[in-house]
């Protein structure tokens, strides 16, 4: 296992979200490092569950983060102006909540948190599991 405390984030590939989310996670959960898994429109993929290959990849990466790095926190992130999931904030927040339910079934012993990055690039907590 690596030294330092880790958290894991499944985020959109949009580079505008990475820094605010990583800073928020580091402060909120007092971790040193954030393992970041990215895919365009990741919350839609996790909410709809019809993207088996991508979801399997997410599970593999979360497994590495939790078992090799000792991550105890897993955050799911949606954001304003998402090119991969261009739907309103309310719909994204619903997708985040659905994604949290689906991920809770994966069996990882982590604290789950849903986040939304707004138009000012501020991180807002949407839900937890």
CATH (domain of 109): 3.40.1050.10
Residue 97 has pLDDT above 60, yes or no: yes
CA 19 to CA 23: how far, in whole Å? Answer: 6
1 within a domain of the structure (yes/no):
no
**What is the pTM (predicted TM-score) of this model?**
0.93
Residue 93 has pLDDT above 90, yes or no: yes
Alpha carbon of residue 38 to chain centroid: 8
Given a contact cutoff of 8 angstroms between Cβ atoms, the answer to whether 115 and 104 are in contact is no
Question: 112: domain range?
Answer: 6-128
70 within a domain of the structure (yes/no):
yes
Given a contact cutoff of 8 angstroms between Cβ atoms, the answer to whether 43 and 21 are in contact is no
pLDDT attached to residue 49? 76
**Full DSSP string of 24-48:** HHHHHHT-SEEEEEE-TTHHHHHHH
């Amino acid at each position: 296992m690596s030294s330092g405390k880790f958290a894991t984030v499944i985020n959109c590939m949009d580079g505008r979200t990475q820094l605010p989310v990583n800073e928020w996670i580091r402060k909120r959960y007092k971790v040193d490092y954030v393992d970041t898994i990215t895919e365009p429109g990741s919350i839609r993929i996790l909410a709809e569950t019809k993207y088996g290959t991508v979801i399997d990849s997410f599970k593999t990466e979360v497994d590495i983060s939790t078992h090799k790095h000792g991550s105890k926190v897993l955050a799911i992130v949606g954001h304003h102006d998402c090119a991969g999931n261009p739907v309103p904030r309310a719909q994204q927040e619903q997708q985040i909540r659905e994604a949290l339910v689906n991920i809770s079934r994966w069996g990882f012993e982590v604290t789950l948190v849903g986040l939304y990055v707004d138009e000012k690039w501020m991180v807002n907590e949407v839900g937890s599991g």
